Amino acid sequence: MNASALATSAVSLVINSANLLKAAQYASLLVTRNPVVPVLENLLLEVEPTKTKYSTARSLRLISSDLEHRFTSRSIPIEATVYPEGASICVPGRQLTDLLRNISEQPVTLEIEEDGGHPYLLLKAELALSLLPSGKGAATYELAGEAGGEFPRNTVLALPTTTLHIPGHLLLEGLALTLPVTGTDELRPAMTGILLEVSAQQFQLVATDGHRLVRFTKQDQHSLQGIERRCIIPRKAAELLHKLVDRRERLEMQLLNDNIRVVMEKGELLIRLIDERYPDYENVIPEFQPNVLTAHRLELLAGVKRAALFANKTTHQIALHLRGDGCELVAEDLDFDNRARESVSGSYQGESMAIGFSYRFLQGFLQLLPCQNVKMSMSTPSRAIVLQSADANDGVLCLLMPVMLNNYI
């Protein structure tokens, strides 16, 4: 913005408070307390012309950033009485959101003023007051702000190499499965994000923390323009998308060299990708698993939860004793002399064995899998097992590393 615009004339506009609140709530997802750059505690309010078929209307956009991500809300229609070219202002995001949340839906007036070179935002609304003869009263709220030019500028980006159109429910399903297993080790930044792989026929998300892995694959449910791509989406960006995307919409993902732009109904999110090489996860997934346990997922999950109550609170270890008629869950805590043994019905094909797991990881996978019956495939007690749906090929594969069993289990 040209900051001199505020010095010559004020901005006055009328906008629906509910529409403004929704945009502020979405944009505030990027606002953090005590950021490195203080202006990032603010939302940028920017008035812009919007061209229609027959005329040029005016609208308001809300923008937020944390330097790694940038959210721009969809344009909100306004009625402007005073409109200098390029008018904008930065205002505290949380304060504006909390204020709008406590105002009933109505047209509110926003005015950008300046006092001694310091811009501020006036918000004028009407309140329902039963004790007044008119039944309502006027309210004016003044929010100290900063010039719009102080907000970080949008980066000029090259044209996308790949454009992907995908149903919202598909992305949300993949993020719900992969987000819980992303790593937290900053020394291995690639594993702190989610790997996105797209081709003309396949859409795939992969996440791992070194102990667990989830691969989510779907065929022919998207459209692709451009070249095949693989990139790593940061965990925070994935969490933002999980909150912003509507499962009923069809969104557009523009893959650039170092960024990805996601265009959705609520606005657009620009994401800086993790510039690292993702681990070669395909070599970790075993091809031959002769021993297979099939059980009702919820019954096995309930058994694991009960057995976990008797497991050691440090190792979180439980054992599965596998045999022809199913499996037996075993947990023991010698420190408190607690023991549990529980049989789980199911079918098992293969050699009898005992294999150990962290109950937290096993329980987490059993809660994530969207199926009625689960299939657990394994080779030996020391190699990773694969968990998949036993009902149909839903494109979800979970990999879990076992733990060494104590002799008493």
| CATH code (residue 82) | 3.10.150.10
Would you say 279 and 196 are in contact if contact means Cβ atoms under 8 Å apart? no
Question: What count of other Cβ atoms lies within 10 Å of the Cβ of residue 397?
Answer: 18
Instruction: Please check whether residues 142 and 27 belong to one and the same domain.
Output: yes
Residue 370 has pLDDT above 50, yes or no: yes
> Mean pLDDT, the chain, as a whole number?
90
Contact assessment for residue 272 and residue 68, using Cβ atoms and an 8 Å cutoff: yes
Same domain, 48 and 78: yes
381 and 248 within one domain: no
213-258 pLDDT per residue, tens = 999 999 989 999 999 999 999 999 999 999 999 999 999 999 998 9
Q: Do 265 and 289 belong to one domain?
A: no
Q: Which residue has the tokens 């996440």?
A: 207
Please indicate, yes or no, whether residues 8 and 135 belong to a single structural domain of this protein.
yes
With cut-offs at 50, 70 and 90, classify the pLDDT of residue 85: low
Domain endpoint, select from 257, 280, 303 = 280
pTM for the whole thing? 0.90
Q: Please report which confidence band the pLDDT of residue 407 belongs to, taking 50, 70 and 90 as the band edges.
A: low
**Contact indicator for 146, 90 with CB cutoff of 8 Å:** yes
Q: Residue 324: which pLDDT band, with cuts at 50, 70 and 90?
A: confident
Least confident interval from 49-53, 74-78, 299-303, 358-362: 49-53
**Cα–Cα distance for residue pair 48/211, rounded to 1 Å:** 49
Residue 157 domain flag: no
Residues 11, 118 within the same domain: yes
Domain count, the chain: 3
Same domain membership, residue 381 and residue 295: yes
pLDDT at 56: 62
Burial label for 331, CB within 10 Å (0-12, 13-18, 19+), is buried
Q: What pLDDT is attached to residue 106?
A: 92
9 pLDDT more than 50: no
Do 92 and 140 share a structural domain? yes
CB contact burial 363-383 (16+ within 10 A = b; e otherwise): bbbbebbebebbbbbbbebee
Residue 7 binned pLDDT confidence (cut-offs 50, 70, 90): very low
Give the strands of the sheet with 317-323, arranged side by side: 229-234, 193-198, 202-208, 212-219, 396-400, 385-389, 373-378, 291-296, 338-349, 326-333, 317-323, 353-358
Question: Quick check: is 156 in a domain?
Answer: no
155: in domain: no
Q: Which of 7-21, 50-64, 195-209 has the lowest mean pLDDT?
A: 50-64
Give the phi and the psi of residue 11 in degrees, each rounded to 5: -115, 130
Note the helical H segments in 245-311: 297-308
Range of the domain at 45: 4-150
How far apart are alpha carbons 52 and 130 in whole angstroms? 42
State how far the Cα of 318 lies from the Cα of 307, in Å rounded to an integer. 7
Q: What is the mean pLDDT of residues 179-187?
A: 94
DSSP string, 139-173: EEEEEE-EEGGGSPPPPP-PPPSEEEEEEHHHHHH
Q: Using the 3D structure, point to which of 150, 183, 207 is the last residue of a domain.
A: 150
Q: Does pLDDT of 142 surpass 70?
A: yes
The pLDDT of residue 105 is 92
Nearest 5°: the CA angle 240, 246, 250 is: 110
How many helices (DSSP H) and strands (DSSP E) are in the chain? 7, 28
Give the pLDDT confidence score for residue 247 in this predicted structure.
94
Looking at the fold, whether 346 and 213 belong to one and the same domain comes out as: no
Strand-pairing partners, residue 199, are none
82 plus 146 within the same structural domain: yes
Using DSSP's 3-state secondary structure scheme, residue 303 falls into helix
Look at residue 3 and tell me whether its pLDDT is greater than 70: no
Longest dimension (CA), the chain: 85
The answer to whether residues 31 and 141 belong to one domain is yes
Boundary (domain end) residue, out of 247, 280, 313: 280
